[in-house]
Copies of this chain bind each other. A is one copy, B any other.
Amino acid sequence: MASPKLQVAVAGLGRMGARHALNFHNRTPRAELVAAFTPVQKEADWAKVHLEGVPIYNDYQEMLKHPGLQAVVVATVTTAHAEEAIQAIEADKHVLCEKPLSTSVEIVSCLPSAIEFTMNPNLCCQQSQSVVDAAAKKPHLKVMCGFSRRFDASYRDAFDRMDSGVIGRPSILRSQTCDKLDPSGFFVAYAEFSGGIFVDCNIHDIDLALWYFGADSIVKSVVATGITAVQPELRKHKDVDNGVGIVEFWGGKVAYFYSSRMMAAGQHDMTEIIGTEGKIAINSNPIGNLVEMHEATGIRRQIPGDYYGRFEHAFVQEAHEFTAAVLDNTKLPFKLTGAVQAVKIGCALQESLNSGKKINFDETGRRIEASKL
């Protein structure tokens, strides 16, 4: 007889929710998608076709009561995330907390009110922390925040190489998350609750810095700037469409980040880990597939149009590993607490962007007020 499969539900069937639902439904052999929740009729209609046979709830609490349900993927609208994650934890479900509207927001999903935290980074961290606290009370549950790059084969290969010592001591990390230009104005509406470009996009890059430099890295300073090159209306949400930031860590390590909403060619996320004896570059040369066109204008390659085009297999792998960790009661590949640290740095960058000031931290990671410098 076959092993029992993880009984999993997905909350939210928007862009990313639908992908998660399909991945658990079709591409995760050890899991069975047993329920889904969406309050949106169009999404429920979609589910009838693509998630044939899976019961669709329009009440989240009802879905949590689905018989035999073991785990929930939270992928609803951002503002509901933290609350829903905490409710799932309280209902004794394992949780994979994801993002609803964007290809690149992760941690935001774990927070009750993304709008506010661009105003108040401390609050932002508190809300992020509340999910961690809820999870801490149920140590038998697996609660994971979906940093998809952690599951990407190239990022993992890079980590293993770095970890083997071949580049010496990792010292500088450069990382960017750059979206294809979307002239529809989507990003302006989205910025209202995205947390800002450093929280929304660079949160991935920050997480990579914490991965490659070590989860115990302590921030020394944060500074950021940015412009609105294509969407000036972003300023009303205190956001930009191109941001540059530097994060200094105690112990002689520096990470610097770039995020953009106006790449012409497509999604171009890349990272360099520069060590004392070598450098590892991930995706310096983005590719859509293995085709090169030789034309009168030269040789041309296309690149992925969006985040999912780049990281599709990482999302599938994420589903596999979350499933395995629950079924086999093994450790998740990274800790939930790191997500709080990433949000803290992202919010500080966003604050620096808006205040125009560099923010400093002492060797324990506590913020040093400007007046005390």
Residues on A close to B: CB < 8 A?
1-3, 25-27, 29, 52-53, 153-154, 157-158, 161, 166-167, 169, 171-172, 174, 181, 221, 223, 225-230, 242, 244, 246, 248, 252-254, 256, 258, 260, 262-266, 268, 274, 276-303, 356-358, 360
Which of chain B's residues have a CB closer than 8 A to the CB of A157? 289, 291
Contacts of A253 in B (CB 8 A): 227
Partner of A274, one of B3, B260, B287, B288: B260
A154 near B276: Cβ-Cβ < 8 Å:
no
Say how many copies of this protein the assembly contains.
4
Contacts of A258 in B (CB 8 A): 172, 174, 256
A242 CB contact (under 8 Å) in B254, B278, B358 = B254
Inter-subunit contact A293/B276 (CB<8 Å): no
* Residues of chain B with a CB closer than 8 A to A256's CB: 244, 256, 258
A169-B229, A244-B254, A358-B223 given; A293·B161 CB < 8 A: yes
Does A265 contact B221, Cβ atoms closer than 8 Å?
Answer: no
With contacts A291-B282, A293-B161 taken as known, whether A172 is within 8 angstroms of B242 at the C-beta atoms is yes
Complex interface: chain B residues within 8 A of A299 (CB)? 265, 285-286, 300-303
Other 14 A-B pairs with CB < 8 A, given A171-B229, A225-B248, A299-B300: A171-B227, A172-B229, A181-B277, A229-B276, A242-B274, A244-B254, A246-B246, A265-B297, A278-B295, A278-B296, A281-B294, A282-B292, A297-B300, A298-B302
Question: In the bound complex, how far is the Cα of B107 from the Cα of A157, in angstroms?
Answer: 35
**Nearest chain B CB to A287 CB, angstrom units:** 7
In contact, B260 and A246 (Cβ under 8 angstroms): no
